[in-house]
Structure formats: C-alpha cells, structure tokens
Amino acid sequence: MKAKIENIVSSITLGQDIDLKYFAKSVSGISKPPRFPGVIYRIEKPRLAMLIFRTGKVICSGARSRNEINMAVEQLLKKFKEAKIKIKAKPKIEVQNIVASSSLNFRVNLDVLATECENTEYEPEQFPGLIFRLDEPKTVMLIFRSGKMIITGAKTPKDADLAAERTRRIVKGFNATIT
C-alpha cells in the first residue's frame, strides 16, 4: 500500500556556530523575526522553510522527498557562501518525521475499532478521527470514518507505506469496515 508523502521534517547539523545577525544582513531571502532565536530561510523551489539557529542547527520543513532536502541544503550552502561564511564540514542530515496520507479504500467503523483494538484513542466529541499507534514501525495514524488516514512519525517512506499496509490489515482483521 502506497502512502503519499506530505511533509518531511529533518534536522541538519552544520557543525559550527553561525552569526545570525550578520547572515541575515548579508543576503536576501533571510528573515529574522522578533523574539525568535533563529532566522528563517524560505525556498520557493522546492517549496520549504529552514529555521537556522546560532548553534548551526537547522530544521527543514516542507520537503516531500530526500532529494528536495538535499537541494535545499545546497541552496542554503550557496547563501552562506554569498555571505562569505565558510561552512567547514559537510552538513549532517537526519530525517526526524515523515507525515504522509493514504486511503484504506473502504469506510471504517471507528466505534468498533476503538472498542476492539488496543493502542487507540477515540473521542468523537473532540476530534472526528481515531488515533491509532503502531509499535513497528513506530508511527501514529489518524484514521477517519471515510477511510482516509494520516500517518505521522515514520522515518522513511518505506516505513510510511508499511504503517499504512499494517493498519489496513488490522482494521480488516477487526471487521471494522463499513460496506
């Protein structure tokens, strides 16, 4: 079962401190919001944002593939070069969280799933979806009556696909489908 990647959040370690005031003044496209301890670099292609901190840590959000993250890092390194800031080490990239969507291709009886299956939370008065946790791969799914599903916590696209497929089998196994 294929999950559609909606967002990949990654951390990037530059391995050195960055003078953010100098960086923000030296190049265009960098913003320094008041009371925020870092600067924001928004990229149009691929469309994503990078939060850059003094410690050399960068949080990248909005990518839909590892390739987009790599492209964004290359663009960031060009911005540092433009500001005459030499990054000495190769940046270390680590995926922190993948958010994906998928469809079970059938409607789900969330009441049955909530009562029969462990690792679920369902409070329809507060939220219309059921929260379902898997241990392997360690992910959390938001399952909706329509059969649509949001997958969070995956570290790889393969894990997102695996979580979608396992969730589908579990829902069918508990006869929580609506025909």
Residue range of the domain that includes 127: 104-178
> What is the model's pLDDT at position 76?
97
Residues 88 and 113 in one domain: no
Give me the pLDDT at residue 179, please.
79
Q: Is 2 within a domain? A: no
Cis peptide bond upstream of 137, omega within 30: yes
26 shares its domain with 76: yes
Give the pLDDT band of residue 177 (cuts 50, 70, 90): very high
Is 1 inside a domain boundary? Answer: no
Total domains present in the chain: 2
Residue at a domain's end among 68, 96, 124: 96
The answer on 67 and 29 residing in a single domain is yes
Residue ending a domain, choose from 96, 117, 135: 96
**What is the per-residue pLDDT across 17-55, written as a single tens digit (0 to 9) for each?**
999 999 999 998 899 898 999 999 999 999 999 999 999
Q: Judge whether 170 and 104 are in contact, CB under 8 Å.
A: no
On the question of pLDDT at 13 being above 90, the answer is yes
Query: Residue 81: inside a domain, yes or no?
Result: yes
At which of 77, 96, 115 does a domain end?
96
Give pLDDT, residue 174.
96
3-state secondary structure the chain: CCCEEEEEEEEEECCCCCCHHHHHHHCCCEECCCCCCEEEEEECCCCEEEEEECCCEEEEEEECCHHHHHHHHHHHHHHHHHCCCCCCCCCEEEEEEEEEEEECCCEECHHHHHHHCCCEECCCCCCCCEEEEECCCCEEEEECCCCEEEEEEECCHHHHHHHHHHHHHHHHHCCCEEC
Per-residue pLDDT tens over the stretch 59-81: 999 999 999 999 999 999 999 99
